[in-house]
Amino acid sequence: MTDRYAVIGNPVAHSKSPWIHAEFARATGEDIEYGRIEAPRDGFAGAVDAFRRGGGKGLNVTLPFKEAAFRYCGGRVTQRAAAGQAANTLDFRTEVQGDNTDGVGLVRDISENLGWVLQGKSLLIMGAGGAAQAVVGALLDAGAGSLVIANRTVAKAQALAARFPGVLGCGYDALEGRVFDVAINATSAGLSGEAPALPEGILGKRTLAYDMVYGRETPFLAAARSAGARTCDGLGMLVEQAAESFFVWRGVRPETRLLLRKLRGG
């Protein structure tokens, strides 16, 4: 019997996950089917229960349900899901297990696909919401030399930073005079055509400016490019987090480079 998986979110119509997982399945010869489920905003648990009752083997979870997915697991979560208090991968083979592959997906895209060294480097994360929360642990595990979390609402940056030893949380003004090796935009500002209010000079020629949003040139990436920084959107992170989820479910790690090239239209 073909094992069934899906991505659950709201909205979910434009998710690339079904296409990506179908490509992974074809490339690895795994017999899976992967669909999409648009759950009502107040009906996440019911939709997951129904999918499980129907024999579903696993789910990817996207906005706005990653925190709800973490709660759904009732403590049966991996350490990397616990670190961000959010789950993007649910595995139903033995009851339920929540995992989060976003952080490792980001780290792999930066270090393997882009060939950018993270070890010992100065890192800036902009934003302190779910997207930021999910990746801090993995960036520290990758050997970041220093990590600053900056956010419009300063208290949120400070609260997130306080959960990780040695991480500083602050507002954008407090970054004045610093330059970072890697600056990661984990805010949703780009979705409304805005950019975090960074002081001048934060992004330089030695900076990798990474936006977790994909498929568009955000004002943050445009500003970074004109400052001479190397820029990248979040498409590679999307593919890498999917590959890690596939590995969690199937024990087989799909190749990602060709697929990423295909998605970029190359």
Active-site residue set: 66
Residue 245 near ligand ATR by CB under 6 A: no
**Sign of the dihedral defined by the CA atoms of residues 203, 209, 213, 219, in that order:** positive
User: Count of residues binding ligand ATR (CB under 6 A)?
Assistant: 15
- Residue from 31, 55, 153, 215 touching ligand ATR (CB under 6 A): that is 153
Strand pairing category for 182-185 and 32-38: unpaired
Nearer to ligand ATR, 44 or 92 (CB): 44
The answer to whether the beta carbons of residues 174 and 199 sit under 8 Å apart is no
Residue 189 near ligand ATR by CB under 6 A: yes
The answer to whether the beta carbons of residues 46 and 53 sit under 8 Å apart is no
Min separation Cβ 84 and ligand ATR, Å: 10
The answer to whether the beta carbons of residues 146 and 122 sit under 8 Å apart is yes
Nearer to ligand ATR, 171 or 204 (CB): 171
Order across the sheet with 168-170: list the strands: 168-170, 146-150, 122-126, 182-185, 208-211, 230-232
Cα–Cα distance measured from residue 239 to residue 210, given in angstroms and rounded to the nearest whole number: 15
Select the span of 25-33, 149-157, 202-210, 226-234 touching ligand ATR (CB under 6 A). 149-157
Residue 196 near ligand ATR by CB under 6 A: yes
Min separation Cβ 229 and ligand ATR, Å: 18
3-state SS assignment for residue 250: helix
The answer to whether the beta carbons of residues 192 and 134 sit under 8 Å apart is no
Min separation Cβ 230 and ligand ATR, Å: 22
Q: What tokens does 90 get?
A: 């649910």
- Residue from 128, 198, 232, 237 touching ligand ATR (CB under 6 A): that is 128
Nearer to ligand ATR, 114 or 159 (CB): 159
Residue 105 near ligand ATR by CB under 6 A: no
Query: Which residues lie near ligand ATR (CB under 6 A)?
Result: 127-132, 151-153, 156, 187-189, 194, 196
